[in-house]
Structure 1
Amino acid sequence: MMLAAPLFTDTRLEEIHRRLLAYYGRPPERDLWDPLKQFIYSMLSSRTKTEISLEVIGHLEERFGSWENLRDASIPEIEDAIRVVTFPEPKAINLKTALEEITRRCGSLSLEFLKGYRTDKIRSWLERFDGVGVKTSAAVVNFSTLRRRAMCVDSHHLRVTQRLGFVGRSADARETERRLMEMAPVKWAPEMLDEHHSLIKIHGQQICAKNHPRCGACPLLDLCPAGAGEERASG
């Protein structure tokens, strides 16, 4: 017996992706890092601008020479090396603790063994560390050489998704990712999910800003309940 096809297929995410791609162009191709480097970067990049985070990860590699040396450095030394990121004090503690714990659990400072795990197991394993939430675990599995299906929801993605009405105003990153992955076509490979994340991030930075969204210039205006309300208010 054949099952009936669904009565409704939500294609809004595909349409949003198509419009943003036409508006902004294709984002630069990501330089894939190994899982450990991506883990370190993602732990430090929370609430910090991308250019600063990239500068810091490069500085750590140059200053310490290896992640083992970073692990073995004192907390004040790590804090000094990452002082330009947001909240360097707790991040230094969480980073050193995580690197020590990875070494203790795995026998060496490497996350290459995660390649043999299911995606959900990788993420639950990573999220046991202090300072590691759903955004960081998604970044590690999707942005690194692991290249698994996940949608990294940062503050821009959360804001845009809420304004589009896909989730409620109180939704967190985990709930938002779950909803977006329900909407994302099964055919979207990890690379496409990464590209979608990048397009939404660019859109949040350039058009759908936190305090002063430029709704009149938005290519998604007719799809956005919040933007339509802004336009009526300003008109």
Structure 2
Amino acid sequence: MNDSLFPKPPREPDDQLPHIHRLLLGYYGQPKPREPWDPLKQFIYSLLSSRTKTETTHQVVRHLQRQFASWDDLRDASLKEIEDAIRDVTFPDQKAVQLKSSLQQITHRYGKLTLDFLAQYRTDKIRAWLEQFPGVGSKTSAAVVNFSTLRRRALCVDSHHLRVTQRLGLTPRADAATTEERLMRLVPETWTAEMLDEHHSLIKLHGQRLCTFTDPRCTDCPLLRLCPFGKKQVTKSDIAAS
């Protein structure tokens, strides 16, 4: 298929993400607004969520809150108790160690188990502090500062975000931290923390519904005209069918 069948109007770099955002918003509709949790609950959720379905992680966090009277009780539980309680997430043995250690270290450094005190610090300082804990990288620190009641500007880059932005040619193959840094250069200064959260939700939904890892539905994609990967897939499909 000739590439001229996929006209791509030239766009200024500062309109790339807003244009993608508008197209996804028109296709999927407005995401359900998030009800932000306190930073500690968001930290626990995000630490457990790696390579685990969203619904499963939500169920595990609800289970933890039913099983333990407080996060202090979770911290003080044995590793076996914690591992059993989070059995449904991926790598529960590894995450049990990371979770218990992180909760202990937070308590040791601040004197009690809370992350509410982070509100008084700059976003970059909060993220650097969080990323000292085991298993915590840029994805988790971004989720805590952006999704929680801290509501700071950050872009949580998960596996869906990596895949979609690489296929669109917005970022090269890189880790979450590098990808976030590059994407934030394209984020308009007018975008609030809530807007960045909405963008994350749209990209994640797109990665789950159409731009999947194994079977991308490129012909149905609202971003096809912008996507080098999608154009190649459609061309291959047309050639195979001819």
Indicate the TM-score class for this superposition, using the shorter chain for normalisation: over 0.9
Partner of 1:75: 79
C-alpha separation in 1, matches of 2:112 and 2:81: 22
C-alpha separation in 2, matches of 1:188 and 1:225: 26
C-alpha separation in 2, matches of 1:153 and 1:98: 22
1:167 to partner: Cα distance: 1.2
**Residue 61 of structure 1: which of 51, 62, 65 is its match?**
65
C-alpha separation in 2, matches of 1:172 and 1:228: 25
In the alignment, does 2:30 pair up with 1:30? no
1:178-213 residue CA offsets vs partner (Å, 9 max, x unmatched): 111100110000000000000000000000000110
Aligned pairs for 1:67-106 (under 5 A) are 67-106=71-110
Partner of 2:199: 196
C-alpha separation in 2, matches of 1:186 and 1:70: 40
C-alpha separation in 2, matches of 1:10 and 1:143: 24
The AA in structure 1 aligned to 2:178 is E
Q: RCO higher in 1 or 2 (8 Å CA, sep ≥ 6)?
A: 2
The AA in structure 2 aligned to 1:190 is A
In the alignment, does 2:8 pair up with 1:12? no
C-alpha separation in 2, matches of 1:107 and 1:152: 29
**2:37 alignment partner, SS class:** coil
- What 5-or-longer segments of structure 1 have no aligned partner? 1-7
Partner of 1:120: 124
1:9 to partner: Cα distance: 4.1
Count of aligned pairs: 227
Partner of 1:205: 208
- Quote the RMSD (CA, aligned, Å): 0.7
C-alpha separation in 2, matches of 1:184 and 1:87: 34
C-alpha separation in 2, matches of 1:21 and 1:168: 24
TM-score by length of 2: 0.93
For the 8 Å contact 2:14–2:188, the answer to whether it is kept is no
TM-score by length of 1: 0.96
Partner of 1:3: none
**1:32 alignment partner, SS class:** coil
1:15 to partner: Cα distance: 0.4
In the alignment, does 2:192 pair up with 1:182? no
**1:20 alignment partner, SS class:** helix
* Shift >6 Å, 4+ stretches: none
Partner of 1:143: 147
1:99 to partner: Cα distance: 0.3
In the alignment, does 2:159 pair up with 1:155? yes
Partner of 2:6: none
For the 8 Å contact 2:162–2:179, the answer to whether it is kept is yes
**2:14 alignment partner, SS class:** coil
**Residue 108 of structure 1: which of 112, 121, 140 is its match?**
112
**Residue 49 of structure 1: which of 44, 47, 53 is its match?**
53
In the alignment, does 2:237 pair up with 1:234? yes
1:10 to partner: Cα distance: 2.8
**2:214 alignment partner, SS class:** coil
**Residue 134 of structure 2: which of 122, 130, 137 is its match?**
130
C-alpha separation in 1, matches of 2:192 and 2:183: 14
1:115-152 residue CA offsets vs partner (Å, 9 max, x unmatched): 01100000000000010000000000000000000000
The AA in structure 1 aligned to 2:98 is N
Residue identity over aligned pairs, in percent, reads: 65
